[in-house]
Structure 1
Amino acid sequence: MLLKQAIDTFLHYLTSLERSEQTTSGYKNDLKLFLRFLEKKYNCCTYLDEVTAADIEDYLLWLKEERNYAPASRARNLYTLRSFFAYAYKKELVKRNVALSVENIKLQQKERVYLTEEEVQQLLQTIQHDLIRLVAKVLYLTGMRISECLSLTLDAVDFEQKMIHVVAGKGNKDRLIPISDKLLPLLQHYVEHERPDTDSDLFFCTKKTGKLSPAYVNRVLREAAEQLGWKKKVTAHILRHSFASQLVKKDVNLVQIQKLLGHSSLKVTSVYTHSSLEQLSEAVNAL
């Protein structure tokens, strides 16, 4: 079977599993790039059973040297290829998963960047765009991903039950996020007095386009951080990190944080257990 045909079959399989559009699109982009690399390398069509571990290693090296991909991005590509070849092996399209013999990409463990409560307030006060200021508050007080937040529909926000229903989040999973007492009146005021009269069913919308883009939100956040003279990069995702980090600081149980964030495992959530130098000093002096 041609590699191209196998890739199309795999993507159809992901769709049948109802994987999210974002997840399927990510796999598609990675595999199509791999296909183009091999076709250029051999100057001909590539067959699935002809792909070797050396081909994958050459591809990962090419991503590093020619495309300047960071380790995390190369690791993601390797994960994609392993998933693809695992599927091919399971369906007996190949005799073995050649991607398994490729060594893992070494990743440097970095502390997640997050904002303190004071920094969040400074950021919010600096944002001049009323709607994006509200979106930033929602991101910080709910821990939602920017895509989840901007995809919210009016019926997904239940003021009576004080609950936000995130539909088809990452991994195509639904979850419920309670609306805090601090956030509830802000959302109610927005719907009653500030939300434009539009045909859009999106909760956060503009009069002109009926929606907000993640890129626009991130641009406003970046400009506000620059105005404050901060060197740290501030994005919508940093507000999600900040939500989780502040909950950890307030001794909220990790399992509860995991459920709020929509993580599949505690291992992912545990990266938010930051420790400042002051806290570390207190720890060693406790003995």
Structure 2
Amino acid sequence: MKLTELEFYLEDFLIYCQSRNLSNKTISSYEQSLKLFIVYLKNEQEIEEPEKVKSGHIRQYIKYCQERGKYTVVASEKSRQINHPQNRTDYKKTISNITINNYIRIIKVFFNWLHKEGEIRKNPVENIEKIKTVRRKKVEITEKEFRALLEEFDYTKFHGYRNKIIVMLLQDTGMRISETLALKVDNIDFKHRMILVTKTKGKKERYVFFSQQMNRELRHYIQFKERYTSSSLLFPTMRNTEMSVHSFEKQLKQVASRIELSVHPHQIRNNFARQYLMNGGDIYTLSRILGHSSVKVTEEAYLDLTDEEIAKKYHNHSPLAKWRI
């Protein structure tokens, strides 16, 4: 089947993304979002050439997504028959402005690339702006909740002890769960209490650091692990393979549900960042620890402290109080 012009350029764009070593997750997100937009242009606007796409078409697509709701637009009928989106509990529910803004961001990346490549004369995304969103405060896990969560893991069993150490390490280092599950024992430098993270989102290695308490816990866990598996992975499955993110999320959810706690691995990473700032850490060092591409990303993600938290932070760091005048 012959590709339309837009479909051809999408394939070319994805090859370009691969040449830049973008992660598979990012490329997959680009492909999925842009295919849906191209289907909309073809079916609703009868447009198959990038040169014909105007700013108004993009704005109308945004409105179209908002009105149609979740999973109502599919890349192909074959996809609908396989995945049956109409059976989902959130089918047709309102798409959040955060998700819409992600669609806009991806469309802008694609058309900016087309313009830079000289494939279009006028760039239709030049004046397209993101939708204003109401920032939701990140849900904090309290010390009491965290202690209760740790007590729910059955540390007499390999998988229970392994998962408990993973949760502790997330809270102590701020690593992403995907980075944590890919760790090998050799990545740990016990002398300097740091870990070399190699499987990162931006494919750029970095070091994270852990506490003296975590040092003891990790040493004890590794001795325990070696009685069950010979894998070089720090947190392997019983089959000596790398545990999937989905599998860990599912197991964590099951344990947390026993104390009626809703918790997600990324939430623990957020918790680390928030506590790091509250304990006097600076945003620039935090940005490097988290592996963000820029300090701006960190600021946008974590500078939403409440008045009470700001007051507490002030009292801990008042210059005059420190001088004891």
Q: 2:253 aligns with which of 222, 236, 243?
A: 222
Q: 2:111 aligns with which of 85, 101, 110?
A: 85
Q: 2:16 aligns with which of 3, 8, 13?
A: 13
Q: Which amino acid aligns with 2:266?
A: H
Quick check: 1:167–1:175 contact (8 Å CA) kept in 2? Answer: yes
In the TM superposition, what whole-angstrom CA distance separates every residue of 1:119-157 from its partner, at most 9, and x where no partner exists? 221211123422211111111111011111112233333
Task: Please say if 1:242 is aligned against 2:271.
Answer: yes
Distance 1:103 1:153, change over 3 A: same
Within 5 Å, give how 1:67-82 maps onto structure 2. 67=70, 68-82=94-108
Q: Which has the higher contact order (CA 8 A, sep 6+)?
A: 1
Gaps of 5+ in 2: 71-93, 155-159, 319-325
Distance 1:253 1:278, change over 3 A: closer
Q: Which amino acid aligns with 2:97?
A: P
Within 5 Å, give how 1:66-215 maps onto structure 2. 66=68, 67=70, 68-128=94-154, 129-195=160-226, 196-198=228-230, 201-208=232-239, 210-215=241-246
CA distance in 1, matches of 2:213, 2:63: 49
CA distance in 2, matches of 1:148, 1:284: 34
Q: Which amino acid aligns with 2:200?
A: G
Quick check: 1:3–1:46 contact (8 Å CA) kept in 2? Answer: yes
Larger C-alpha radius of gyration, 1 or 2? 2
**SS state of the match for residue 98, structure 1?**
coil
Alignment match, 1:258: 287
**SS state of the match for residue 130, structure 2?**
coil
Alignment match, 1:59: 61
Q: Which amino acid aligns with 1:48?
A: P
CA distance in 2, matches of 1:183, 1:252: 19
Taking structure 2 as the reference length, what is the TM-score of the superposition? 0.78
Quick check: 2:137–2:304 contact (8 Å CA) kept in 1? Answer: yes
| Identity percentage of aligned residues | 28
Quick check: 2:278–2:313 contact (8 Å CA) kept in 1? Answer: no
Alignment match, 2:302: 272
Quick check: 1:3–1:35 contact (8 Å CA) kept in 2? Answer: yes
Taking structure 1 as the reference length, what is the TM-score of the superposition? 0.88
Note the aligned Cα RMSD (angstroms). 2.6
Quick check: 1:197–1:207 contact (8 Å CA) kept in 2? Answer: yes
Gaps of 5+ in 1: none
Quick check: 2:34–2:106 contact (8 Å CA) kept in 1? Answer: yes
Quick check: 1:20–1:168 contact (8 Å CA) kept in 2? Answer: no
In the TM superposition, what whole-angstrom CA distance separates every residue of 1:177-223 from its partner, at most 9, and x where no partner exists? 1232221222222222225425x543211113622222222223333
CA distance in 1, matches of 2:109, 2:29: 12
**SS state of the match for residue 213, structure 2?**
coil
Q: Which amino acid aligns with 1:204?
A: F
